[in-house]
Amino acid sequence: QMQLVQSGAEMRKPGASVKISCKASGYSFTDYFMHWMRQAPGQEFEWMGWSNPLSGGAEYSRKFQGRVTLTTDTSITTAYMELTSLTYDDTAIYYCAASRGGGRSLSGFDPWGQGSLVAVSS
């Protein structure tokens, strides 16, 4: 079955960068967009953007534009999310999730990775 397995928890200092991986299995990696979300403690989910393994393209939320880079490596069916210039407000659980569409789409996010905690602390 379709499965996404993310890398483990990370702790970073303010100003640092973090890169999270998301390993896909059980489906054709290039048939689905990979979206990234985060959920800070007690907050709503925030959508960060998507990467397209087929084209290599990506789209980013305006909020994260310039700080986030979404990439994929089709040879190892893995997607990556790198976030730079971290602040305390970036402390959250980060999720990858697959979807048939990147723009307007009747497809939801399924499956999701298990989440990766990023803690920003001095």
Partner 1 sequence: DIQMTQSPSSLSASVGDRVTISCRASQKITTYLNWYQQTPGKAPRLLIYGASTLQSGVPSRFSGSGSGTDFTLTISSLQPEDSATYFCQQSYINPRTFGQGTKLEVK
Residue ranges in contact with partner 1 by CB under 8 A = 35, 37, 44-47, 59, 61-63, 95, 97, 99, 101-115
Report the residue number, 13 or 104, with the smaller CB distance to partner 1.
Answer: 104
Burial class (CB within 10 angstroms; exposed 0-12, middle 13-18, buried 19+) of 66: exposed
Q: How far is the CB of 37 from partner 1 (least distance, A)?
A: 8
Q: Are strands 3-6 and 45-51 parallel, antiparallel or unpaired?
A: unpaired
Backbone angles phi, psi at 29, to 5 degrees: -55, -35
Query: For residue 80, what are the CA distances in angstroms to 20, 42, 87, 122?
Result: 6, 25, 20, 25
Report the residue number, 106 or 122, with the smaller CB distance to partner 1.
Answer: 106
Report the residue number, 16 or 115, with the smaller CB distance to partner 1.
Answer: 115
Q: How far is the CB of 114 from partner 1 (least distance, A)?
A: 5
Q: How far is the CB of 61 from partner 1 (least distance, A)?
A: 4
Report the residue number, 10 or 59, with the smaller CB distance to partner 1.
Answer: 59
Q: How far is the CB of 1 from partner 1 (least distance, A)?
A: 10
Contact 18, 119 (CB under 8 A): no
Backbone angles phi, psi at 89, to 5 degrees: -65, -10
